Amino acid sequence: MDKEKLQATAMEYMKIWNAGNADLLYKYADSDIIADYTHFEKSYRGIADYKSVLEMTYNFFPDLKITIENLLPDEAEQKITVEWKYDGTHKNGNLFGVESSGKKISVSGITILEIKNGLVIKEKGIVDNLSLLMQLGAI
């Protein structure tokens, strides 16, 4: 896959983080996808397992919207690094010990997508959860 196709795939795939878009996994992710972020207690394997995490995130932030800030494709490795930020409102549930308060948040992160046969087979990333904790008032 060339640089442009890697970028296009990443742009479409990352829309899974927009509230209500978990079903995009069926279109852009391999059925055995592995998703691993530094704040996850474990790696999530398979679409159904990972979809449950996305839906939990949407519950906390039902208006969650991701913005892609930069794409760095690696044609040789068939990987792409995505710099992003997401914005949303904490409307439901207890997150990191903080009850929902209607606070608006904006959080940055980096995700590396590994792509094979046009589908994401691995998603690994880091989220600025310190910033999230501060914005929620947890610290």
The per-residue pLDDT for range 37-93, each reduced to its tens digit, is: 998 889 999 999 999 999 999 999 999 999 999 999 999 999 999 999 999 999 999
Sort strands 119-127 and 29-37 into parallel, antiparallel or unpaired.
parallel
Residue 57 and residue 127: Cα distance in Å, rounded? 13
pLDDT, tens only, 52-61: 999 999 999 9
Neighbours of 128 (CB within 10 A): 15
Domain borders along the chain are 3-136
**CATH fold for the domain made of 3-136:** Nuclear Transport Factor 2; Chain: A, (3.10.450)
pTM: 0.94
